[in-house]
């Protein structure tokens, strides 16, 4: 393991997919004198347990840009950096139960077409053709996105890290931050391995972003939710279909019911966004453990019972499979559900690239945006909807963050 240098140009705090992408894009821009500091191991936090979905769809122009860029980057990343990855481009069907939802899909189609994406609104016959196991009761149609898919989050992060290292950037693992201080025009980052001086600091600490923010005198507007997804055992009919067709089913999102359903090998992955959701680490009686890196929360399947029943009615072969595993891990949320990426409010030469609820889908684009902020002082795309300065001080109140985060989570797919 490389030792901690005493000086560098940029320090990135956090080694999840967003931090690794920021390091990679800075190095690609010629800023190779950059160091990423990770408290534990790369991917610890939210990245390692993420489901790995990679959609392009968003009702936000900024997020759609980031997600579109991510899909383009990920397609060629393995060859570009010489690191193999499991990236499956399966396409997706986003189901509509109402005329209002179909109108939303028409708007998204227009946004996507303007960005060069071949997304389309399709009818029930096309849904059935692309997803033969589905029941189409109560449906009006769907939005089909051929670029949607899923990727292995750990492999993605390691590929970005390798690309950054190969260009000359450095990564120091097992190096927790203990503090920061300003010394004239420099930052001094204090760590368990010593001090490192730099011009610029980036907070990419994921669900620990608020903890790091306090070192800068910054109250980061965020909270932490638990998100569960269920992995199912192999389904013989699905295995036979995939073997015959030589492909996986499209990723299914029943947005009016609020869950996604994805083929995982020859089984299924069901991930609801339930309205009876749960926040974590919200008060002094429930503190965030210092060593919480690769841990999960206990299963809480009672919250998902209605969503599981609906998914079985929609895709009946799901009801023939046993449960293989439940993943229940922490995901950070801002009060409006969008990440924080841009200048840290009121703090010189400091940036934020954190609180990504969908970090795998947005990680590639986030690295590009962060690198532009640092190296050019502006971004190619209008990123105000993700700018940390969009929130005033009221948004950092813990009760407000928790209430809004739970509202956003339970209405993840709401129009």
Domain ranges of the chain: 91-146+224-333
Residues of the chain with pLDDT under 50: 1
Per-residue pLDDT at 1: 47
Residue 146 CB contacts under 8 Å (≥ 6 apart), including other chains: 89, 91, 118, 119
Residue of 110, 133, 6 lying closest to 61 (CA atoms)? 110
> Which residue blocks in 7-149 are alpha helix, DSSP H?
17-28, 61-81, 99-114, 124-130
Residue 165 CB contacts under 8 Å (≥ 6 apart), including other chains: 171
Residue 206 CB contacts under 8 Å (≥ 6 apart), including other chains: 14, 16, 18, 45, 46, 47, 332, 354, 355, 356, 359
Residue 317 CB contacts under 8 Å (≥ 6 apart), including other chains: 133, 235, 237, 238
Rounded distance, CA 248 to CA 132, Å? 12
Q: Model's pTM, two decimal places?
A: 0.95
> What is the tally of helices (H) and strands (E) in the chain?
10, 20
Place of tokens 């998902």: 304
Per-residue pLDDT at 2: 61
Per-residue pLDDT at 415: 85
Q: Give me the CATH topology for the region 91-146+224-333.
A: D-Amino Acid Oxidase; Chain A, domain 2 (3.30.9)
């Amino acid at each position: 393991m490389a030792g901690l240098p005493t000086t560098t140009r940029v320090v990135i705090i956090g080694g999840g997919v967003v931090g690794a992408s920021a390091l990679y894009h800075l190095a690609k821009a010629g800023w190779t004198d950059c160091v990423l500091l990770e408290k534990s191991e790369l991917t610890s936090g939210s990245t390692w347990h993420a489901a790995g979905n990679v959609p392009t769809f968003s009702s936000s122009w900024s997020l759609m840009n980031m997600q579109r860029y991510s899909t383009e980057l990920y397609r060629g990343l393995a060859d570009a950096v010489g690191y193999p990855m499991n990236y499956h481009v399966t396409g997706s069907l986003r189901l509509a139960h109402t005329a209002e939802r179909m109108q939303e899909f028409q708007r998204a189609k227009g946004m996507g077409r303007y960005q060069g994406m071949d997304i389309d609104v399709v009818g029930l016959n096309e849904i059935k053709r692309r997803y033969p196991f589905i029941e189409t009761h109560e449906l009006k149609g769907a939005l089909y996105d051929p670029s949607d898919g899923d990727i292995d989050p750990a492999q993605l992060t390691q590929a970005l890290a390798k690309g950054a290292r190969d260009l000359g950037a450095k990564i120091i693992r097992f190096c927790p931050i203990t503090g920061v201080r300003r010394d004239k025009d420099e930052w001094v980052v204090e760590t368990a391995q010593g001090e490192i001086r730099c011009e610029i600091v980036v907070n990419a600490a994921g669900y620990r972003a608020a903890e790091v923010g306090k070192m800068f005198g910054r109250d980061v507007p965020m909270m932490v939710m638990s998100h569960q997804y269920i992995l199912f055992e192999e389904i013989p009919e699905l295995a036979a279909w995939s073997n015959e067709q030589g492909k996986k089913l499209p990723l299914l999102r029943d947005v009016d019911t609020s869950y996604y359903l994805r083929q995982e090998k020859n089984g299924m992955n069901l991930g609801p966004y339930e309205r009876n959701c749960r926040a974590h680490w919200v008060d002094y009686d429930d503190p965030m453990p210092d060593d919480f890196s690769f841990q999960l929360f206990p299963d809480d399947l009672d919250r998902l019972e209605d969503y599981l029943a609906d998914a079985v009615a929609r895709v009946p072969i799901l009801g023939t499979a046993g449960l293989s595993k439940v993943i229940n891990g922490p995901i950070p949320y801002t009060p409006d559900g969008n990440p924080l990426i841009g200048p840290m409010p009121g703090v010189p030469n400091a940036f934020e690239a954190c609180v990504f609820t969908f970090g795998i889908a947005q990680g590639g684009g986030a690295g590009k945006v962060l690198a532009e902020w640092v190296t050019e002082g502006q971004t190619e795309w209008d990123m105000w909807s993700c700018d940390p300065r969009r929130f005033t001080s009221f948004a950092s109140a813990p009760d407000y963050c928790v209430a809004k985060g739970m509202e956003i989570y339970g209405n993840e797919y709401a129009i």
